[in-house]
Amino acid sequence: MIRAALPKNILRGLMALTCIATDAVPATDPVYGKLLHDTECLVCHTTTHYTRENRLVDSWDKLRKRVAYCRDDVGAEWDAAETEDVVLYLNSYYKF
């Protein structure tokens, strides 16, 4: 996957600093996140899982932890940036 002209380790470092400094989500690619989500996550459940009344996820932190848990559970081999892409895509449902 081609992200930018900067080396991957520099991009990851900048993303990490952005998160630490602002407690915000770094600019990622929700379109790619949707592709990853649709390929891996919809194997286990539908998107109604995110809009149900008694959902477990109610913050960015819980969303990141849930995505990481599910990623590991299904064996998806996403790197940190790809995982964040999925988190950003899923926020289109959660709207934090």
Q: What is the reported pTM?
A: 0.70
In a domain, 80, yes or no: yes
Residue 11 clears pLDDT 60, i.e. is over it: no
CATH (domain of 60):
1.10.760
In a domain, 69, yes or no: yes
The per-residue pLDDT for range 38-48, each reduced to its tens digit, is 999 998 899 99
In a domain, 82, yes or no: yes
Where b means 16+ CB within 10 Å and e means fewer, 32-56 reads bbbebbeebbeeeeeeeebeeeeee
Q: Which of 32, 21, 22, 92 is nearest to 63 (CA)?
A: 92
39-58 average pLDDT score: 91
Question: How many folded domains does the chain comprise?
Answer: 1
